[in-house]
Structure 1
Amino acid sequence: MMNLKKCALHTAVAMACGLGAQLANAGATISFGEDKYISAGFGFITSYNSVEDAAANGSDRSNDFTLDSARLYLSGSFNKYIKGMLNTEKSGGGSANSNFEVIDANVQFQLTPEVAIWAGRFLSPSDRANMAGPYYSMGGGYWANIASRYGWNGGVIGRDDGVAVVTSFMEDHVAVSFGAFEGDNIFRFSGVGAQSEANGTKDKLMYAGRVQIDFWDAEPGYYGTGNYFGAKDILAIGIAGRMKKDGVVSTIPGVVGDYKSYSVDFLLEKKDVGPGTFSAEAAYYYYDTDDVFLGEQGKAYSAGLGYLFNDPVGWGKIMPIVRYQKFDADGLTTAASVNTRTSADTKRFEIGANYVIAPYNSVITATYGKTDTPAASSDNFFRLALQMQF
Structure 2
Amino acid sequence: MKKLNKVAYLVALATTATLAPIATTHAAGTITFGEDQYISLGFGMRGSYSRVEDGAGNGSSYSNDFNLDSARIYLSGSLNKYIKGMLNTEKSIAGQGFQVIDAAGIFEITPDFSLWAGRFLSPSDRANMAGPYYSLGGGYWAGIASRYGFNGGYIGRDDGLAVVATAFDQRLAYSFGAFEGNTTFQIAPVADLVESSRGSDGLMYAGRLQYSFWDKEPGYYGTGNYLGAKDILTVGIAGRTQNNGAVSATDQGKYSSYSIDFLMEKQNVGPGALSIEAAYYDYDTDGVFTSEEGDAYSAGLGYIFNEKVGIGQIQPFVRYQRFDADNNVDLRQTDLGVAYIIDGYNAQVSAVFSQLEETNESDTNSFLLTMQLQF
Structure 2 length normalisation: TM-score?
0.91
| Cross-structure match for 1:358 | 343
- When residues 383 and 78 of structure 1 are mapped into structure 2, their CA distance, relative to the original with a 3 A threshold, is same
Matched-pair contact (CA < 8 Å) for 2:331–2:358: yes
Is residue 323 of structure 1 aligned with residue 311 of structure 2?
A: no
| Cross-structure match for 2:78 | 77
Whole-angstrom distance in 1 between the partners of 2:76 and 2:35: 15
Whole-angstrom distance in 1 between the partners of 2:23 and 2:211: 18
| Cross-structure match for 2:58 | 57
CA offset at residue 203 of structure 1? Answer: 1.3
CA offset at residue 374 of structure 1? Answer: 4.4
| Cross-structure match for 2:363 | 378
Whole-angstrom distance in 2 between the partners of 1:77 and 1:274: 43
Matched-pair contact (CA < 8 Å) for 2:215–2:231: yes
- When residues 193 and 59 of structure 1 are mapped into structure 2, their CA distance, relative to the original with a 3 A threshold, is closer
- When residues 237 and 194 of structure 1 are mapped into structure 2, their CA distance, relative to the original with a 3 A threshold, is farther
Of 199, 202, 209, which aligns to 2:200? Answer: 202
| Cross-structure match for 2:8 | none
CA offset at residue 155 of structure 1? Answer: 2.2
What aligned pairs does 1:1-390 form with structure 2 within 5 A after superposition?
23-92=24-93, 96=94, 100-152=98-150, 154-190=152-188, 191-193=190-192, 195=194, 198-199=196-197, 201-252=199-250, 255-331=251-327, 343-374=328-359, 376-390=361-375
Whole-angstrom distance in 1 between the partners of 2:202 and 2:352: 42
Q: Which amino acid aligns with 2:74?
A: Y
Matched-pair contact (CA < 8 Å) for 2:125–2:261: yes
Matched-pair contact (CA < 8 Å) for 1:26–1:389: yes
Q: Which amino acid aligns with 1:24?
A: T
Q: Deviations over 1:140-193 (max 9, x none)?
A: 211111111112554221211000011100111001110000001221222322
CA offset at residue 91 of structure 1? Answer: 3.7
Whole-angstrom distance in 2 between the partners of 1:359 and 1:314: 15
Q: Which amino acid aligns with 1:148?
A: S
- When residues 358 and 75 of structure 1 are mapped into structure 2, their CA distance, relative to the original with a 3 A threshold, is same
Matched-pair contact (CA < 8 Å) for 1:301–1:326: yes
Q: Deviations over 1:303-326 (max 9, x none)?
A: 111000000000100000101111
Q: Deviations over 1:352-390 (max 9, x none)?
A: 100000111001010111112347421100100001101
Q: Which amino acid aligns with 2:135?
A: S
CA offset at residue 23 of structure 1? Answer: 5.0
Whole-angstrom distance in 2 between the partners of 1:330 and 1:153: 18
Q: Deviations over 1:12-61 (max 9, x none)?
A: xxxxxxx9x95531221111011100010100111000011212222221
| Cross-structure match for 1:11 | none
Q: Secondary structure at the match of 2:148?
A: helix
Whole-angstrom distance in 2 between the partners of 1:272 and 1:22: 27
Q: Deviations over 1:233-282 (max 9, x none)?
A: 00000000000011111201xx2210000000000001100000100111
Aligned residues: 354
User: Bigger CA drift: 24-33 or 153-162?
Assistant: 153-162
Q: Secondary structure at the match of 2:28?
A: strand
Runs of 4+ in 1 over 6 A off after TM superposition: none
Matched-pair contact (CA < 8 Å) for 1:150–1:186: no
| Cross-structure match for 1:338 | none
User: Bigger CA drift: 23-32 or 356-365?
Assistant: 23-32
Aligned-residue Cα RMSD (Å) equals 1.7
Whole-angstrom distance in 2 between the partners of 1:91 and 1:145: 19
CA offset at residue 80 of structure 1? Answer: 1.4
Q: Secondary structure at the match of 1:377?
A: coil
Structure 1 length normalisation: TM-score?
0.87
Whole-angstrom distance in 2 between the partners of 1:200 and 1:357: 48
Q: Which amino acid aligns with 2:184?
A: I
| Cross-structure match for 2:12 | none
Matched-pair contact (CA < 8 Å) for 2:198–2:252: no
Q: Which amino acid aligns with 2:300?
A: G
Identity %, equivalent residues: 60
Q: Which amino acid aligns with 2:180?
A: E
Q: Deviations over 1:53-94 (max 9, x none)?
A: 2122222211100111111000000011110001111243xx
